[in-house]
Structure 1
Amino acid sequence: MSWTDMTHAVLPQAVFLPLWVKLSWACVVSAVVLRLTYAWKPNVWPAAVVGVVMLLPRTDVLPGYLALAFQTPSLVLVAWALWCWADVLELREPVVATPRSVAWLGVLLGWALVVDTLNGWPAFFNPQLYALGFEAAGLWLVLALTAGTLLWVQVPRRWVCCAVVVLAVYALLRLPTGNVWDAVLDPFVWLALHVQLWRTWRTTRAV
C-alpha cells in the first residue's frame, strides 16, 4: 500500500468528533485564560467560567467557530491545557518551557510538514510526509522519534507520562483527524516552540 492510499486509513469515529471539538477547545481556551490571569489571586474562576460557557447549549457554537478557523487542537495542545489546570489546582508553578531538544524536534518537524504541504521536496525525494501520518508506519516513526528524544535528553517523568498518554489516546481513538502529525503538532504548538527557541537564543546572546 502506498503512503497516499487512504483505503485502509483508520479515522476517528464520527460520533466522537462534535464532542471532541467542544471539549478540546473549551479546555484549551480556558487554559489560555488561566495562564493569562495567573498573577491574579484567585485566578481559577475566570478560566472555569470561560470553559463552562463554551460547553453550554446556546454558546457551544463558539468551539465550532474556532474549529472552522483553526481546525481542532492537537492532543499535545490539549495535554498542555490539562497540565496548566493541574499545576494551578495543585499549587505548583506552571511549566513555561519545553526541553530545548524537544522544541527543536517540533520546529523541524513542522517545517518538514510545511515543505511537504507545499510540495517543495525535490522530485527524487518525495516522502509524502503528511500522508504517512495516516499509516501505521507514521505512528511507529513518531514512537521512534519520541523514544529517541526522551532517551537522549533527561526530562522529568511528567514529560514521559504525557508522551505516553498522548500516543495511547491517538492509537485508541485516532483523534483528532486520524493523522498522527495532527495529534502531536498544530500551528499553535509550532509557533509557541519558535517563540521559545527565539527567546532562548536572545538570552544566550545577551549573556
Structure 2
Amino acid sequence: MSLPDLALQIIYARIAWGLVAAAMLLSVLPTLLPRIFPQLAQRSKAIVAITIAIMMALPGAGSPAYWLTLIFQYPSGLLAGYSLVALCARWTGRPVDFLLHPVFALVLTLVGIVLYLDAFGVLALGLYYRGFDSDAATLLAIAAAVAGAAAVLMRRAVSGGAALLAAVLLFSLLRLPTGNLWDALLDPLLWAWAFGSVVVTARRYYYSRSGRPVTAPEPASELVHASGVEQL
C-alpha cells in the first residue's frame, strides 16, 4: 500500500482542520456576532470562513493546524466530509442537527471500540495494520463506498452517505490522510461525536418508551450544534 506524500499530508491537515474549525465556529458565532455587531449579520459567515482559512494557511507553527495535528493527528476524511456537508448546510440556511444518524453513530462507535481495544493490545487482532494491506483495504473501501451510495440513493442518512463517499474517494485517489483506510474513516474526535450521538439517541428512545418528557435544550445554547450536520 502506497503512502501519501508528506507535502500532501500538510496541505490536507490545513484544509481538513479548517473545515472542522469552521463547522464548529459557524454553529456559534453567527448567533453571537449579530448581537454584538448588527451590521455584520449578513457577512458573519463569510468573515468566519475567511478568517479561519487565513489562519490555517499560515506557515509552520504559526498555523493552528500545526498544533491540532500534533495533539489530535490528522482528521479523518469522514470527519472532514461531515464538516464540509455541515458548512454547505449552514451556508444555504438548511436545518442542521448535532446528532449523527443512529445507524452511522452506532457502527462508528462499535468499530472504534474494537479498534482502540486492538491498538491497546486487549484484543491483539492486528486490525489497524490491515488498513495498510492492499487487499483488505480495497475490500473495506468497496464495502464503505457501497454503504455510502446506498444511504444517498435510498435518501436515508444522506449527509452521512455523502461524507462516507468523499472519505473513500479521498483515500482511493490520494491515500490521505495517512495511507491507512481506518484513519480515513475514523479518528478520536469523530468517535467521541458518534458515541455522544448514541448516548443521546438512546436517552431519547428510553424517555419516549417510558412516556417521560425529554427536556428540550435551551435555544440560546447552540454549542450542541457544534458539528452542524443535518440528520437525514
Is this a same-fold pair by TM over 0.5? Answer: yes
Q: TM-score range by the shorter chain?
A: 0.7 to 0.9
Distance 1:52 1:87 in 2: 22
Tell me by how many angstroms 1:81 deviates: 1.5
User: 1:129 maps to which residue?
Assistant: 127
Tell me by how many angstroms 1:99 deviates: 2.1
Q: Deviation string for 1:83-115 (max 9, x for gaps)?
A: 121112212112433221111110010011011
Tell me by how many angstroms 1:10 deviates: 1.4
Counterpart residue type for residue 32 of structure 1: M
Tell me by how many angstroms 1:160 deviates: 3.2
Distance 1:94 1:138 in 2: 32
Tell me by how many angstroms 1:38 deviates: 4.8
Kindly tell me: are residues 145 and 74 of structure 1, through their superposed partners in 2, closer, same or farther at Cα, counting changes over 3 Å? Answer: closer
Distance 1:58 1:117 in 2: 30
Kindly tell me: are residues 120 and 149 of structure 1, through their superposed partners in 2, closer, same or farther at Cα, counting changes over 3 Å? Answer: farther
Q: Deviation string for 1:145-176 (max 9, x for gaps)?
A: 56358759861444433322221110110000
Alpha carbons 2:144, 2:164 under 8 Å: kept: no
TM-score by length of 2: 0.74
Q: Which runs of 5+ in 2 are unaligned?
A: 35-40, 209-232
Cα-Cα RMSD: 2.4
Alpha carbons 1:33, 1:47 under 8 Å: kept: no
What secondary structure does 2:70 align onto?
A: helix
Tell me by how many angstroms 1:188 deviates: 0.5
Report the more deviating stretch, 88-97 or 147-156: 147-156
User: 2:64 maps to which residue?
Assistant: 62
User: 1:3 maps to which residue?
Assistant: none
Identity of aligned residues (%): 25
Report the more deviating stretch, 184-193 or 98-107: 98-107
Distance 1:129 1:90 in 2: 40
Tell me by how many angstroms 1:67 deviates: 0.7
Aligned length: 195
Alpha carbons 1:30, 1:48 under 8 Å: kept: no
Counterpart residue type for residue 140 of structure 2: L
Counterpart residue type for residue 131 of structure 1: Y
User: 2:51 maps to which residue?
Assistant: 49
Q: Which runs of 5+ in 1 are unaligned?
A: 1-8
